[in-house]
Structure 1
């Protein structure tokens, strides 16, 4: 076994610190990766990574290819291909649950092998929730299989997921042979077929029904005790004021007397009241409804205010401002969404790259900036319905919003949220469509499809490397008008790019200091009592569990050098071990935090954290056997 050097100890300490930061999220993962890069360069005498090599990851073929594939995927999305495909599935399945599930996982799985799976899942979530509502099926039955199918499809080709490209770079450095476009395909097809078969049979039974069919938003988020209606009395100090004059971003704060500028209670005594956590959503007057944040009409006696707030807050609100609470009847989605004004209810998810992630709602102030009011936040099986201002948003949080129709597109374009459910007119605004016909595939959509096919073909036959072919495809997309240049830059998830580039030198340091050889030697001792095939399976399980706890990118950077070193110590080819690690990081099903698409369906499906292990653990064990045997068959040990 290789001796443990001082440099290896330093690198292990950096690895431990990195894993801690990934798990605790004290820093965003991409910033953690940059901190790793800086640390490796500063500690060069111990890590063996000079400054120039530390930043070489930004020019690595994997990172360049990933940047290009983000843009190519955006070009396909801009052409409306995914929207058209979703509409076709809706028409062909006719509402049958089994056929619809088969269509969703089959289409998503194949598509994710060639196009970035994040936009595919983002488009399919509202499609699935809409079909679920139409046919009376819980969306929970479809959304988790949707995410799992996207992950399974990522194993089909080199460009299926970012970790495939990263593993190819590592294979080039350690084994002098990068992956070709279809190196992974023989085993990837087996994984996809077995995984889809599981999702359509055993998985279909295990996936829980967390959201009831036909449940409206107010039922789904259990808002019954947090929505109420009050009538404005003749004596109320709110009479003559607009909602904007009476409210600030934290709710009702003060009512300013017209004559002396002091704050007045209903009895006229000046004081400084504490803010009340209440939002006014809607004003009803003489059979007409007004969207509270958008109207400048002064309040009048007899106006009915629909508000969000706890029972205690609503009672305090009514007493302070001279309002009479109406009998506590249920305020339904129908009352809020079909009132004739511009405000509608919608559900949206904070995705992994959202500008809201790590910020509080008080800081963002969506109500005053966008006229968007947050009614509830669902985080796993917990629903937060009050005291939003101090809540720090996390990836996977699902927000129930009251929003103007014309603002939701801006929130998506600016990277705040991904809309997952709402009335059809919201999606018409986002996709720039009218309200009538289903999306159609225009002849112009064939151009970006042809460009993508050409990129894959050129890389597959070896005419040019994949990163050159992909960059050429980007040029063709922009030159032909398939995607504007500004949209191309916006399509790239730059935090993923920095994450990849920052972590790549960590693998080099593991190799240079002998750390990978040391760990490989320890694991090679297991081969004394178990055959190499079992050791291969153990690597799959260890990698899959680690990828479910931290990012798949970090896992492949750490585990790939160890896998190759272990194979060398055992005296077998390192390729099967590297490939098992590659497949394992692409199929981390055990938690919602292991993969971005898992987080995207977490809230809309109403899932609990343990639901992922409930459905994913049997699939993970099944694929452990299937992947290990398939890899050993294609690449004999």
Structure 2
């Protein structure tokens, strides 16, 4: 049966894709939840589209999905060795005081590392180092953080395990191209190396000129989050009813109107709420809250507002308390995403007080407990060292300025970033995985699983750390979109789209048609996820190549490279989202810096594929 010349089953799939794309772009519900809905819908449509329930959940059994799970775990094993942290320390020591050296070292090391280790933890480790280097060098962190993310993305094009889209493309090549047993570990490395070099050259020249300094160099954190009117020094009068109360009792009396951050008594300073000191007359309280609430407690509780005594970052840093004022990013895989600040229990469980939230151009400074946290949110927090260590281990908060690098001249590097005793073993296992897959001794999925097994049984990686390392939202997204791509292929939907694109061959040479595929794929991957783009576009590219008499593998590579290089939006790739807040960027910054890079690499990719693999 057909509708307007289109098979009914293909029309149903196109409608499902349209709804899925709308949900992906709007993010009304999380993308992984959308993926679950896709699986349920495909199962419900089974009789109409020739799909079984097993087909609908086939994404969980895909070798690409299993390989990506294993690679997350292997990356965690390498991360636990301390090698990346140690490299960050050496870079900090080498580049301190020079923006040019810092930029060269950042992009020159991040790219190659990201070819073998998942780039998300690499960027997470480098964000504090880059932020602190910028402060030491009197350079805006905005000038360095965007190149950091872009270099990590570029590095993913070097090897098969560089990014999840490469692994997914390899699995699709095995399914869609007769005689193809996936893609070799280093089969596309020559072109990936060219893309990395061209991309780095752009970042060091044109990109450096285009990258804005959104956050002024050396700016005070209180000023950066515009908290001047939300922080105040209040002196306790002798007749105040607060005299004799503990900080906990004081907080209960204030009923959440304001938060007490410090109690100052002469030269002594006590961090709240940890202190057990009782409030005394003449104590000075450092409080955070809306100006109206501050004025209300002043009149209600016998306090004196010390208007001339301002509160700055120096107020917190210049006194010997355990607490530090810092910035932190909510990563995409954080357990706090989707929870209100009150539900996270950050203050009660982890002694982490949130003073403000920056979300894109929006700055939130009051009624924070009711705010639902989102990936990419930048928090101004106050926390002790043990809380900082907990967040570093859990990965649910990435503290963006640990200031550990200020101690380079005082502390031995081995103490500041110690290497695990299992480092040689973990590195050897990772090399074994890469070597076995590169030499075709084992398939990439079996080699990766064997590597995980070896790391766990040798103690390089605990089972709990292995499971915690996996970005399960990405895995569920994969599991949902893989059967959607299969449905588009089996119902003829991919062939219908390919026919429309093939029609351009009448007006364009074949290499221009490939360039068109690269550009369209790149644009789509910046709007929805690279994973979804890979699954939807590769069947179209392979079908189009078949209709034009072109090499399907070349067109598959074109889509793979284009999907893996998303520079134009903060949501196009998770590392872009990680630097969005700490760099103070605006959406337009990604277009201005990433747009020319995307177009440049589209041309390089097309010419490179035509030169190395040919078009026909």
TM-score by length of 1: 0.92
1:92 aligns with 2:94: yes
1:595 aligns with 2:573: yes
In structure 2, what is the equivalent of residue 465 of structure 1? 443
Change in 2 beyond 3 A, CA 1:224/1:41: same
In structure 2, what is the equivalent of residue 568 of structure 1? 546
- Counterpart selection for 1:190 from 194, 201, 208: 194
Paired with 1:340 and 1:88, the residues of 2 have a C-alpha distance of: 28
In structure 1, what is the equivalent of residue 233 of structure 2? 229
Paired with 1:112 and 1:336, the residues of 2 have a C-alpha distance of: 37
How much does 1:494 deviate? 1.6
Q: Is the 8 A contact 1:354 1:415 kept in 2?
A: yes
1:514 aligns with 2:513: no
CA RMSD of aligned residues (A): 2.1
Paired with 1:381 and 1:328, the residues of 2 have a C-alpha distance of: 30
Q: Is the 8 A contact 1:377 1:385 kept in 2?
A: yes
Q: For residue 421 of structure 1, give the secondary structure of its aligned residue in structure 2.
A: coil
In structure 2, what is the equivalent of residue 139 of structure 1? 141
Paired with 2:396 and 2:418, the residues of 1 have a C-alpha distance of: 28
Q: Is the 8 A contact 1:207 1:615 kept in 2?
A: yes
- Counterpart selection for 1:527 from 477, 498, 505: 505
Question: What is the 5 A alignment of 1:61-80?
Answer: 61-80=63-82
In structure 1, what is the equivalent of residue 328 of structure 2? 348
Q: Is the 8 A contact 2:129 2:405 kept in 1?
A: no
How much does 1:94 deviate? 4.5
1:281 aligns with 2:283: no
How much does 1:243 deviate? 2.1
In structure 2, what is the equivalent of residue 539 of structure 1? 517
Paired with 1:473 and 1:422, the residues of 2 have a C-alpha distance of: 32
How much does 1:427 deviate? 11
Moved more, 484-493 or 504-513: 484-493
Q: Is the 8 A contact 1:347 1:398 kept in 2?
A: yes
Number of equivalenced pairs? 609
Q: For residue 229 of structure 2, give the secondary structure of its aligned residue in structure 1.
A: helix
In structure 1, what is the equivalent of residue 248 of structure 2? 244
1:304 aligns with 2:284: yes
Deviations 1:317-367 (A, max 9, x none): 211222110024321212113322222111110000111112221332422
Name structure 2 gaps, 5 residues minimum.
Answer: none
Question: What is the 5 A alignment of 1:355-504?
Answer: 355-424=335-404, 437-439=415-417, 441=419, 444-504=422-482
- Counterpart selection for 1:121 from 105, 120, 123: 123
How much does 1:565 deviate? 1.4
Q: For residue 592 of structure 2, give the secondary structure of its aligned residue in structure 1.
A: helix
Paired with 2:385 and 2:143, the residues of 1 have a C-alpha distance of: 28
Q: Is the 8 A contact 2:239 2:302 kept in 1?
A: yes
1:320 aligns with 2:322: no
1:292 aligns with 2:294: no
How much does 1:146 deviate? 0.4
Paired with 2:405 and 2:116, the residues of 1 have a C-alpha distance of: 30
Paired with 1:438 and 1:293, the residues of 2 have a C-alpha distance of: 29
Deviations 1:221-265 (A, max 9, x none): 2322221100112222222222212325xx931xxxxxxxxxxxx
Paired with 2:574 and 2:351, the residues of 1 have a C-alpha distance of: 29
Paired with 2:420 and 2:344, the residues of 1 have a C-alpha distance of: 39
How much does 1:195 deviate? 0.2
Moved more, 312-321 or 163-172: 312-321
Deviations 1:285-339 (A, max 9, x none): 1321111111122212211110112322211221122211002432121211332
Change in 2 beyond 3 A, CA 1:436/1:336: farther
Change in 2 beyond 3 A, CA 1:317/1:434: farther
Paired with 1:148 and 1:535, the residues of 2 have a C-alpha distance of: 26
Change in 2 beyond 3 A, CA 1:58/1:436: closer
Q: For residue 406 of structure 1, give the secondary structure of its aligned residue in structure 2.
A: helix
Paired with 2:25 and 2:362, the residues of 1 have a C-alpha distance of: 21
Q: For residue 209 of structure 1, give the secondary structure of its aligned residue in structure 2.
A: coil
Q: Is the 8 A contact 2:92 2:405 kept in 1?
A: no
- Counterpart selection for 1:635 from 589, 602, 613: 613
Q: For residue 232 of structure 2, give the secondary structure of its aligned residue in structure 1.
A: strand
Paired with 2:560 and 2:224, the residues of 1 have a C-alpha distance of: 39
Q: Is the 8 A contact 1:425 1:435 kept in 2?
A: no
Q: Is the 8 A contact 2:96 2:133 kept in 1?
A: no
